[in-house]
Structure 1
Amino acid sequence: MCGRYFFDLDSEELSALYKKIQEQARREEKLAEKIASGEVYPTNHVITIGGNKDNKPVAAVTRWGFTGFRKGQLMINARSESVEQKRTFAKPFQDNRCVFPMSGFYEWDQDKNKYFFTKGKVMYVAGFYRIHHSSEGIETESIIMTTDPNSSVSKIHDRMPLIIEKKDIGNWIADIDFAREYIKAEMSALDSELVS
């Protein structure tokens, strides 16, 4: 389960993406001051990359977490193995896939030790989004997909985010058949460090 991640503004790639979205948000007078960086938590407004009307990758702002059916309920992860069997997740997965750009993600072991997992300077984690209508208005909500952990994560946690290779982002967003195959892929090894 991915419950927190890091968006490092010292990364040239992530910083450029952040500045571009900030400028766009200011022009549209939306959310510019709310876009999360540094350590990112559920409910934060985050940068995701989804498809435009032509299914080409484009960055946007979404709120991390699907509002649940019960008051205060928030779903932040979806299991890749059962995503199309869950009514809440099936259509957004089929129609609105995205990726979460990040520097790395955090997991905790059974003793509550916090580890930071990375793959180079930037990684892309699979997800999807939906437009949610509530009494507070309309919001775009996003969710991170998880999968079985590889050997570099399994000693710490029994789940890990589904990582998308940069070269596969366009296919992930635009091609449902590609996505259905990709969710079965074995994840490559990650680097990790104990942070607390």
Structure 2
Amino acid sequence: MCGRYSLTTPLDALRSLFDFESLLNLPPRYNIAPTQEAAVVRTSDVGGRELAMLRWGLIPSWSKEASMGAKLINARSETVAEKPSFREAFRSRRCLIPADGFYEWRMEEGRKQPFRIGMKGGIPFAFAGLWEQWTAKAASTGIAEGESVETFTILTTPANDKLRPIHARMPVILAPETFDPWLDAANDPHSLLSLLGPYPVAPMAFYRVGTAVNNVRNDDPSCIAPLTAIAG
């Protein structure tokens, strides 16, 4: 499961990696949590890539309630092609979720210890994601009747050897050379399943952080401050 992540990388560096067009102001985020808005890269209506702000927690187009999104922050890569909640989005609404770290918790001495996980050197990367547009047929959870909301989910896969001692699963991380095939809606989605395995161990690193990240109201540099040396 991936339930928190960070994106503190400057916009120019993200634009260089993801090759998108955007006029958005993107302040650093240290503790992105479900149901919040976050940056997503997807194919625009006129071609090319765009950066958009979507709500984290996918609401299927057929859902009667917006609250369903809070339960669908992750999609298991093993079942994404068949599960009704995700299969339509997997077919044609795939996206990239920029990040530069994510958090997982492990029990240590009777309490949950948070870890920040990412790439060596703190470089940004992309989660594999799906997005959906949902229109309220009636007023629902602060959304007016007829209002449309765009939402996303993050795909997960079994953890690699480095991360397995912390958590059994990890988000799917896509290498830059796979961005184009992942985003191309014309591709057969089943041909993309091979991209959804664990990310290689060698480029990744993690370290313990303090408990500030436990509270979704905390969204400042204290969330990413190391308690221990980074483990390569």
Q: Which residue of 1 aligns with 2:220?
A: none
State the Cα deviation string for residues 112-142 of structure 1 (Å, max 9, x = none): 1100111141011001000011232101100
What TM-score do the two structures reach when normalised by structure 1? Answer: 0.83
Which structure is larger by alpha-carbon Rg, 1 or 2? 2
User: Alpha carbons of 1:193 and 1:151: their partners in 2 closer, same or farther (altered >3 Å)?
Assistant: same
Q: Which moved more, 1:65-74 or 1:162-171?
A: 65-74
How many Å apart are 1:85 and its aligned residue? 1.8
User: Alpha carbons of 1:89 and 1:55: their partners in 2 closer, same or farther (altered >3 Å)?
Assistant: farther
SS at match of 2:128: strand
1:79, 1:147 within 8 Å by CA — same for their partners in 2? yes
Give 1:34-53 correspondences, 5 Å limit: 37-53=29-45
SS at match of 1:188: coil
How many Å apart are 1:15 and its aligned residue? 8.2
Q: 1:107 aligns with which of 98, 104, 109?
A: 104
User: Alpha carbons of 1:60 and 1:146: their partners in 2 closer, same or farther (altered >3 Å)?
Assistant: same
How many Å apart are 1:54 and its aligned residue? 5.9
Q: Which residue of 1 aligns with 2:56?
A: 64
2:2, 2:154 within 8 Å by CA — same for their partners in 1? yes
Q: 1:181 aligns with which of 194, 204, 213?
A: 194
What TM-score do the two structures reach when normalised by structure 2? Answer: 0.71
How many Å apart are 1:47 and its aligned residue? 0.8
Which 5+ residue runs of structure 2 have no aligned equivalent?
211-232
The number of residues matched between the two structures is 184
1:56, 1:170 within 8 Å by CA — same for their partners in 2? no
- Please give the alpha-carbon distance, in whole angstroms, between the structure 2 residues aligned to 1:60 and 1:39: 18
2:76, 2:157 within 8 Å by CA — same for their partners in 1? yes
User: Alpha carbons of 1:58 and 1:113: their partners in 2 closer, same or farther (altered >3 Å)?
Assistant: same
Q: Which residue of 2 aligns with 1:86?
A: 83
SS at match of 2:38: strand
Cα RMSD (Å): 2.5
Q: What is the aligned-residue identity percentage?
A: 24
SS at match of 1:145: strand
